[in-house]
Chain A
Amino acid sequence: MAKTWTLVIAIAFSTISLGSCSLSQLATRAVADSLTSGDASTFTSDDDPQLIADALPFALKLYQTLLEKEPNHRGLITATGSGFIMYANAFVQTPAMMLPSDQFSRAEQMKVRAKKLYLRGRDILLNGMDRLHPGFLKALNDDQYDLAFKGMTARDVPILYWAAAGWFGAWSLDAFDFGLGLSVKRAGAMMHKALELAPDYGNGAIHEFYILYYGALPPGMGGSEQKAREQFKEAVRVSQGKLASPYVSLATAVSIKTQNLKEFEELMKQALAINPDDVPATRLMNIISQEQARWYMDHLDQFFVSASDSVESDNATNP
């Protein structure tokens, strides 16, 4: 999910560039263009996730300010909405998961915050898409998907992908938010359209989403271990095996569910064996994925019943 760091970094750019800009329409557009069209590899190749985590909140607020002035700017819409979603995922939800159990209250607060950030990002993207394709939102909310997606091309895939990812991300944090749960089929339709228009978008980001989707959902709701594995193969193919995240995704979505500890460890080892420096453009993303992999490997007994013995196992048949 933490893909397309290009966009994240573009947001960070704004903090540097905006100081000397007036917020006139013309200048705003010029800034927006420069922020969302440049080469951001300097940032995606960063090896310090904390630096990016610290920079993003301020940058995101500045981006929102720009978007108010330029609400039809495709690059700004995408960067702002996806920025909130990436921040929620990488820097709020994931750290919450890693907190020890005695910090339960703190973890719950962070999850609530992550859900709100996911939805904020999603709404920015949905409203932006409605500006780019008038009538989109009404058709989507009426479940008229052919009409909603009419005229869309590969150019629309980033907004489709990130809005759907934010929608599912929020739902994953509150399974009993029934309003969200019942509306999430619309996110499913958007992701399906994104897959149809540009299956290999974002270094295999859509395939990776489907690893989690098929792996996490119960069979009665469309979940399928086999499909999750097929999507894993696609994600590895598209990324040429140079991204750690597909391995982490399959391990967490499928190996835990099937309690296959051996496979889990093998996948995490494969994730950790990738050298982040091999592909500078994805260095940051790989570092973050590998941090997750290490954390999981250090906490196996939280996810695998058989990972350690608990109370003595003698006289085991007598409870």
Chain B
Amino acid sequence: MRQIRKGRLALLLLAGMLGVAGSVSALDIKIASIAPENSPYGVALNQMASEWQQISGGRVRVLIYHNGIAGDQSDVLRKMRFNQLQGGVFTNTAIAALVPEVLSVSVPFLVHNDAEFRYVMKDMRPILDKKLESQGFKAIAWAEAGWVKFFSKDQLLTPEQLKGDRLAVPPEQQDLLTTFKILGYRPVPLDMPETLSALNSGLVDVIFTSPLIVAGYQWFSAARYMLDMNIAPAIGTIVLTSRAWNQIPVQFRPEFQASAARAGQKVENGILKLENDAIDAMKGYGLKITQVTPEIRALWETEFQHNYDSIIGPVFDAATVKLVQDDLKAFRK
């Protein structure tokens, strides 16, 4: 009898275990992005989602909400805090709400090119990752997202000319608004959807953004001149909540991280070609490129670098900017 009971108990336990195993449901991770699905950013995210599902044998399902349907970047961050979303793709401006040190890489005319950016980010990433982790977030990929440039209604060449113009700056980019004000420029806070009408109506004369954005929104129909000079790199990052990351079974995390890094790398590797494609396409529709001589570039660099004392500290985190400057010195030797 006891044997039978034991047998029953074992069966019950087995059944219970099978029941538990059968009820293990997939972990859903919802990630939002403002980029279109059918863009290099969207494709890279979809690929990552596909890889995570395959790596985990279907135990982790990633749902990507493209095209900004989950809201703008501040909405996405808010929804992550309330666990409605577990991840988001952010620009440096948006993620600066959590880790303002990220803006140190984007001080105008501090970092000059892709090679410098990559060198600097090697030291910056651990700092940014740690700061994010302390606030309950996990960065799973960082990538360069292109370079911002000046686009203007009339030809722009020198800093003196810019001082006479009204320069559009997204209202959430307080760092840039403050920087340009301190340096004696005339920044105008302007929401992205208003840009074209503001250029056409004369509310602003110059915009300050990536060629990809200018081509995508066709703003160059009003801002026909591009100053061919990199001002600062834009950065993109994929961030999860630590809570979601910690729910991913430990054995999958290294491969997930590698998959996310590949997604970032894929975007980064293609960004230069994309920017060139965008500029070429715009040239075909009337965009005029103003070439920059070394002397003119020196004018701009001097204008900003001589005023770094005014903006580094009050606007940009002094300690991390110093780190970037030290890295750049080492790299440029």
Chain A contacts to B: CB under 8 angstroms: 101-105, 107-108, 111, 172-176, 178-179, 181-182, 185, 218-221, 256-257, 259, 301-303, 305-306, 308, 310-313, 316-319
Kindly count the residue-residue contacts between A and B in the assembled complex, taking CB atoms under 8 Å apart: 120
Q: Smallest Cβ distance from B282 to chain A, in angstroms?
A: 7
* Range of interface residues on B (Cβ < 8 Å): 35 or more
Contact of B215 among A181, A301, A317, A318 (CB under 8 A): A181
Contact of A220 among B47, B135, B193, B242 (CB under 8 A): B193
**Chain A residue with minimal CB distance to B50?**
A104
Q: Is the CB of B39 within 8 A of A175?
A: yes
Q: Is the CB of A175 within 8 A of B36?
A: yes
**Chain A residue with minimal CB distance to B242?**
A319
Q: Is the CB of B215 within 8 A of A220?
A: no
**Chain B residue with minimal CB distance to A306?**
B84
Q: Is the CB of B136 within 8 A of A176?
A: no
Contact of B65 among A104, A221, A305 (CB under 8 A): A305
> Which residues B282-312 have CB closer than 8 A to chain A?
282, 284-285
Q: Is the CB of A176 within 8 A of B39?
A: yes
- Whether A308 contacts B277 in the complex (CB less than 8 A), given A101-B53, A102-B54, comes out as no
Q: Is the CB of B28 within 8 A of A310?
A: yes
Q: Is the CB of B50 within 8 A of A102?
A: yes
Q: Is the CB of A311 within 8 A of B83?
A: yes
A259, A305, A317 pick with most chain B CB within 10 angstroms: A305
Q: Does B243 contact A (CB under 8 A)?
A: yes
Q: Is the CB of A301 within 8 A of B192?
A: no
Which one of B74-82, B106-114, B177-185 is at the A interface? B74-82
Q: Is the CB of B46 within 8 A of A256?
A: no
Contact of B284 among A182, A257, A301 (CB under 8 A): A182
With A178-B282, A311-B86 known, 13 other A-B pairs at CB within 8 A are A101-B61, A103-B50, A105-B50, A107-B46, A176-B277, A179-B277, A182-B218, A219-B193, A257-B69, A306-B84, A311-B28, A311-B247, A319-B136
CA distance A317 to B137 in the complex (A): 13
- Whether A259 contacts B46 in the complex (CB less than 8 A), given A305-B79, A317-B82, comes out as no
Instruction: Sample 18 A-B pairs with CB under 8 A, ordered by A number.
Output: A101-B62, A105-B50, A176-B39, A178-B215, A178-B216, A178-B277, A178-B282, A181-B281, A182-B215, A182-B218, A219-B193, A220-B192, A257-B69, A259-B69, A302-B63, A310-B30, A311-B27, A312-B83
